[in-house]
């Protein structure tokens, strides 16, 4: 599954290129349009052909966290940093065999946190 902003793919969740049963997150960021070494990979250390993940992205800072399960009360398994101010506007789900699903109208939950 890939998340896009207006400039292209910025986050990818899926299997590792070398192991289709291991999960990872790749951060492309707005500047990525080139070789693999320009992206950062976060190994989710989970084996299996299917899993449920939740991502929390903090738009102001670019910090993100990945949880296993539904919602942020799941088990935290990865955290990292990507570009701040990303505006996700498209999701693509690809099956690796050429068949894609693409969604351009997204429903996003926005939570405002009070900083003291």
Predicted local confidence at residue 65, as pLDDT:
92
Predicted local confidence at residue 3, as pLDDT:
85
Residue that is written with structure tokens 């993100």 in the block: 64
Predicted local confidence at residue 37, as pLDDT:
57
In terms of pLDDT, which residue wins out, 65 or 45?
Answer: 65
Residue 104 CA to residue 37 CA, distance in Å, equals: 29
In the chain, count of helices (H) and strands (E)?
A: 0, 9
Per-residue CA distances from 94 to 32, 40, 46, 99, 112 (Å): 19, 20, 20, 6, 32
Share of the chain above pLDDT 70, in %: 72
């Amino acid at each position: 599954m890939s998340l896009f902003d207006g400039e292209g793919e910025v986050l990818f969740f899926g299997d590792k290129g070398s192991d289709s049963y291991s999960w990872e997150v790749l951060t492309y960021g707005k500047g990525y349009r080139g070789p693999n070494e320009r992206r950062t990979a976060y190994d989710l250390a989970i084996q299996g052909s299917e899993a449920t993940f939740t991502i929390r992205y903090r738009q102001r800072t670019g910090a993100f966290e990945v949880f296993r399960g539904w919602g942020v009360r799941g088990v935290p398994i990865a955290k990292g940093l990507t570009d701040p101010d990303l505006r996700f506007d498209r999701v693509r789900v690809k099956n690796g065999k050429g068949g894609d699903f693409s969604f351009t109208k997204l429903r996003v939950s926005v939570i405002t946190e009070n900083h003291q």
